[in-house]
Structure 1
Amino acid sequence: MQLAETTPDRTVRLGAQGVTRRFGPVLANDAIDFRALRGTVHAIVGGNGAGKSTLMRILQGVDRPDSGVILLDGAPAIFAGPADAFARGVGMVHQEFMLAPGLTLLENLVLAAEPVDGFGRIDRTAALAKARALEALAGVSLDWDTPVENAPVHVRQIVEILRLLYRGADVLILDEPTAVLAPAQVRELIALLRKLRDEGRTILFISHKLDEVLAVADEITVIRNGRVVASLPRSSASRDSLAEMMIGEVLARPQPRAAAAGAPMLQVTGLSARDLRGHAALTKFDLTVRAGEIVGIAGVAGNGQDEIVAAATGLGRIDAGSIRLDGIEIAGLTLAQRRSLGLAYLSPDRAAEGLCLAAPIAENAIAGHHRKPELCSHGVLRRKAIARHVAALLDRYSVKRASDRQPAGSLSGGNQQRVAVARELDGEPKLLVACQPTRGVDIRGIDFIHRCLIDYRDRGGAVLLVSEELEELVTLSDRIVVVYGGRITGEVARGTAGLEEIGRLMLGGKAA
């Protein structure tokens, strides 16, 4: 690939000039230009399919552009691969943590780059000294002997960042770094990023949380449909203006009306359950969700939310307790039996659990409903009736597709989620367990899904909402139940507490 002529600008630590990348007929990156200056936090925002992931792969050396160049220290550069990019100071913290289970934080920090003594043995004293030096640099304090699986989520995030610094990276690419953090932990992370910035490091901050982008970024680049639509200083941006640039139109935030809660639909009493490691995750847990209300579950990941969902849906075992759906005990029933009684379930993992990506969209849209008389007669599927039903259903939920027979995996993440939402709300279930309903969905899709949940509630549906997005819980929930260590630390009604109060409860604080 021919390197473009450019005058090096040493203040530009990492950037792109005319970067274009195609995948067959799809133009993922279209002549992208941006420049992240040394000692700044540069945010890159855009909806699903905007081209952010492709650009990050190119900046890491995982992929190469068809045309255009990477800029490194203001001059054109070619990365032979991720190792080459890292050797030149560019590292990335992925949304899914890459720490090795079964090892301590210190062992993870130095893994594959361990200091050794004169006999070729790992020098733990030297490793700990390096860890302490990084602590001082970052302004944090960690217990390095903690096994990684016992460390809080925000500590794992910090260790991921310190691993890059330990190996010499001074450009940090962070992909959705606050996805599972409580507000106080987000503040800690932002403070760390500012400190690293002030020490001369360059940070690329990839996020859809615009309030956090505005809190940490010095410069912001907005990408839509593979092209840069704006690069601007933080001082010239607002949440609404960024959202409009990302999607090309103004979206009004949904304003749910006051709930008209009815009879109990889900009643959980004295529930005790263990996690996958056999540790107690829930102890004598009580919860009620009524018809016509959305009850949100807030908590830092790993505090019992997964076990609540598994118990309600029948996907996990319980040690004790009662679970009733519209007055009927379901604790011993399978998921299929619970669905027949009116339970719907929106899985947090649509790729592995919520959908069969290799199967046609139509089959995904009727899964679990395919035995209904209007779709099946004497055990034989009624193909024409299914085709009519699916077409109308997917049109109603604005699923963009070329054909109802194309594989579900060929859809964008947002459209895949629309298929899952359409299927679960089809037939007006009594209770919807919605777990991370907008994970991996862009602003337009989030708005659509939020309106679907609100409309379902307004029609009398009951929703148990589990989300890592605290703003989502506050926007949608009539009541928020906060869990910590498998117990309820507080319950907050709509409009009675802000993010900070809820965040304090998420970290084990007492209700005010």
Structure 2
Amino acid sequence: MLLEMKNIVKKYGNVVANNKVNISLNKGEILAIVGENGAGKSTIMKILYGLEKPNSGEIFINGKKMNFNSPSDAMKQGIGMVQQHFMLFENMTVAENIVYKNEMKKGIFFDYKKNIEVVEELSNRYMLQVDPRAIVEDCPVGLQQRVEILKILYQNADIIIFDEPSAVLTPIEVEELLKTMKQLAKLGKSIIVITHKLHEVMEVADRVVVMRLGEVVAETLKKNTSVEELSYLMVGRQIVTRVIEPKDTKESLLEVKDLILHGDGEKNVLNGVNMNVKKGEIVGIAGVSGNGQSELIRCITGLEKIDGGQVVIHGNEITNKSVMDIRKAGITHIPEDRYMWGSAPEATLAENALMGYEDTEEFSKRGILNSSKIFSHASELISKFRVKADSPEQKIKELSGGNAQKLIVAREMSMETPLIIACEPTRGIDIGAIEFIHDQLVEKRNGGDSVLLVSSELSEIMSLSDRIYVIYEGEIVGEFARGSIDEKRLGLLMVGGKESEE
């Protein structure tokens, strides 16, 4: 047995994140750990990687008891972690990132040629092709992830932890990643993958551990289980397949006309974008991160000033108006970054639930806030959207990422505007919460309101959207009705391919 974690207990105050958790890993094995947000899977991996200390329990590597006080302790024992948000220096080369802190030197100077050779040899050995001379910020996301993996392999890691590794990848990049995991396992590396994408688990894992409420509730070989069974074990109930009835929608609600946003150089970030959202439909925007979809949403919602074109809702122009004026015109917004744009981490759940409502008569009179109504409102949202929290007075930064996301979704959905812009609404959350949020978006659409959905999850875009726009390098390169395009063709357009290349 390569790794054993025995009876691991981790508490945060009165909250038990891990309760006598046992995890084992064999050499050359791919182990998937799945569970809802707050199930304790990320905590147990943070303990293994030295980011957290357990209250009790033991860790053994090759039968030897370990005590990790930091990630560097874990790395010395051959444990590496590819985190969801890459830890790379974007203005440095691929080679410089991979060899960082363990560089080949000529005297006291960085030996550029030798480091290039070392990275090329490493790349060839593990069949992970990269250009050592490329600048990281110029590399697509899938290639940046490959650099992260090579960086860990350069540090001689035998155990590699992947935390939600496919969250920002295109379908083609996901295929490559799964091939990489299998190849690493064949070469003797041992893999632990934390994910909520059960189809990927069934594709790549040898064994699956299911966690719920801080405990291991099931452990099974992949060949002995199914997506349906794993879903049930994760949430304790059957996940229902959603059917979205087609609707005949004609009346336009949102129109974006010839929108232009200048960039730092000569090339525009957004170059003449035209799109619309009709009443009673969900419109999806599919695109690889960094192709202008984030800037497009910021322009529509007033977070960024546009350089040309118009944004119109209900026939009223809202181009370059303030965020507050745009919200009052009938647009609410679930931002893609829950902490930077969607919440104030140091504020309480009640304060975060109030945002956008603070000047309404229900919660404020003559500038004085009504604390009891604010508390009651937050409690109602927490209950309805199943946010796992101790109290509305708890700080939002103390929640798991998925539960913070649910509170933001609850706040924006409760405003009952004609249009909600949902950016990555289910990023990093579990299958039960995804089902609930999807149901809320579909319910809004079925009630005659509209949803503009931006997601890097193609399955989410394709299952929910009545129409799909594809964005590439700041331009709309395709528009498709539900069912008229498959995931492979959509993924091809997202990376700049032409349909004729299929």
TM-score relative to the length of structure 1: 0.92
Alignment partner, residue 88 of structure 1: 77
Amino acid at match of 1:94: Q
Do the aligned partners of residues 256 and 91 (structure 1) sit closer, same or farther apart at CA in structure 2, a change above 3 Å counting?
same
Structure 1 residue 184 corresponds to structure 2 residue 172: yes
- Equivalent of 1:148 in 136, 139, 163: 136
- Which deviates further from its counterpart, 472-481 or 178-187? 472-481
Structure 1 residue 215 corresponds to structure 2 residue 215: no
SS at match of 2:168: coil
- Which deviates further from its counterpart, 312-321 or 179-188? 312-321
Do the aligned partners of residues 277 and 448 (structure 1) sit closer, same or farther apart at CA in structure 2, a change above 3 Å counting?
farther
Alignment partner, residue 293 of structure 2: 305
Q: Equivalents in 2 of 1:406, 1:85: separation in Å?
A: 32
Structure 1 residue 251 corresponds to structure 2 residue 251: no
Alignment partner, residue 16 of structure 1: 5
SS at match of 1:271: strand
Alignment partner, residue 284 of structure 2: 296
Alignment partner, residue 20 of structure 2: 31
1:406-417 aligned at under 5 Å gives the runs 406-417=394-405
Deviation at 1:386, TM superposition (A): 4.6
Q: Deviations over 1:410-464 (max 9, x none)?
A: 4443333332222212242121111111123222211111111000111111111
Q: Deviations over 1:456-504 (max 9, x none)?
A: 1111111111111111111211111111111222223222222212111
CA contact (8 A) 1:489 1:509 kept: no
SS at match of 2:254: strand
SS at match of 2:134: coil
Q: Equivalents in 2 of 1:168, 1:226: separation in Å?
A: 31
- Equivalent of 2:53 in 38, 59, 64: 64
Q: Equivalents in 1 of 2:116, 2:348: separation in Å?
A: 53
Do the aligned partners of residues 107 and 220 (structure 1) sit closer, same or farther apart at CA in structure 2, a change above 3 Å counting?
same
How big is the alpha-carbon RMSD for the aligned residues of Structure 1 and Structure 2?
2.1
Structure 1 residue 355 corresponds to structure 2 residue 382: no
1:38-437 aligned at under 5 Å gives the runs 38-117=27-106, 119-274=107-262, 280-383=268-371, 385-386=373-374, 389-437=377-425
List alignment gaps of at least 5 residues for structure 1. Answer: 1-11
CA contact (8 A) 2:42 2:194 kept: no
Q: Equivalents in 2 of 1:197, 1:95: separation in Å?
A: 20
Alignment partner, residue 504 of structure 1: 492
Deviation at 1:225, TM superposition (A): 1.3
Alignment partner, residue 476 of structure 1: 464
Q: Equivalents in 2 of 1:340, 1:276: separation in Å?
A: 32
Amino acid at match of 2:67: I
Q: Deviations over 1:347-386 (max 9, x none)?
A: 1222232122333333322321232334444444455555
Q: Equivalents in 1 of 2:391, 2:30: separation in Å?
A: 42
- Which deviates further from its counterpart, 379-388 or 264-273? 379-388
SS at match of 1:353: coil
Deviation at 1:286, TM superposition (A): 0.8
Deviation at 1:257, TM superposition (A): 1.7
Q: Equivalents in 2 of 1:432, 1:509: separation in Å?
A: 30
% same residue: 39
CA contact (8 A) 1:260 1:293 kept: no
Q: Deviations over 1:253-275 (max 9, x none)?
A: 32222134242111111111145
CA contact (8 A) 2:116 2:133 kept: no
Do the aligned partners of residues 255 and 123 (structure 1) sit closer, same or farther apart at CA in structure 2, a change above 3 Å counting?
same
